[in-house]
Amino acid sequence: MKSPCCRFDWVLVSAFALAACDEVVGDDFFVADKGADGGAACVPDESRCSGAVLERCTPLSQWETAQICSTEALCDAVAGQCSQPICQASDRRCNGADLETCRPEQNGWVKAATCASAAHCNASLGACAEMPCAAGQVQCSGPELQTCKADQLGWATTTMCATPALCDVATKSCKPPACSVNQYRCNGANLEKCNDARSDFTLVQTCSGPAQCDPAAMKCNAAACKPGDRRCDGAALQTCNSTQTGWTTVETCATAAHCNASQPTCMATPCRTGDYQCSAAELQACNTGQTGWTTVSTCASPSLCDAIGKKCQPPACSPNQYMCSGADLLVCNATRTDFMKVSTCATPALCSAAEGVCKAATCAVSQVACMGAQLAVCNATRTGWDVKATCGAPELCDPVQEKCLACLAGKYRCSPSQPLVLERCKADQTGFETVKTCAPPSQCNPAAGDCVGSSSDGGTADARSD
Predicted pLDDT at 52: 84
For residue 256, is it within any domain?
yes
Among 266, 291, 312, identify where a domain stops.
Answer: 312
State which amino acid sits at residue 158: T
For residue 424, is it within any domain?
yes
For residue 262, is it within any domain?
yes
In angstroms, the CA 303 to CA 315 distance is: 9
Tell me how many domains the chain contains: 2
Residues facing residue 96 across a β-bridge: none
In angstroms, the CA 62 to CA 19 distance is: 13
In angstroms, the CA 348 to CA 96 distance is: 39
For residue 442, is it within any domain?
yes
Residues facing residue 187 across a β-bridge: 190
Predicted pLDDT at 123: 92
Other CB atoms within 10 A of residue 365 CB: 11
Among 266, 295, 312, identify where a domain stops.
Answer: 312
Predicted pLDDT at 5: 38
Residue 245 to residues 173, 210, 252, 320: CA-CA distances in angstroms?
A: 47, 10, 21, 20
For residue 280, is it within any domain?
yes
Element (H, E) at 332: strand 328-332
Domain membership of residue 294 as a residue range:
230-312
59: preceding bond cis by omega (within 30 degrees): no
For residue 43, is it within any domain?
no
Predicted pLDDT at 14: 34
Predicted pLDDT at 454: 63
For residue 266, is it within any domain?
yes
DSSP 78-143: TTTEEPPPSS-TT-EEEETTEEEEE-TTSSSEEEEEE-SSGGGEETTTTEE-SSPPPTT-EEEETT
Predicted pLDDT at 39: 43
Averages of pLDDT over runs of 10 residues in the chain (466 residues) are 37 33 37 43 89 87 84 92 87 92 88 88 86 92 94 94 93 95 93 92 87 91 90 96 95 96 94 94 94 95 94 93 94 91 91 84 83 88 92 83 86 93 89 92 90 66 48
Among 293, 312, 331, identify where a domain stops.
Answer: 312
Is 0.85 surpassed by the pTM of this model? no
Q: Say which DSSP state 37 is in.
A: -
In angstroms, the CA 331 to CA 320 distance is: 6
Predicted pLDDT at 459: 61
DSSP 417-458: S-TTEEEEE-TTSS-EEEEEEEPTTSEEETTTTEEES-SS--
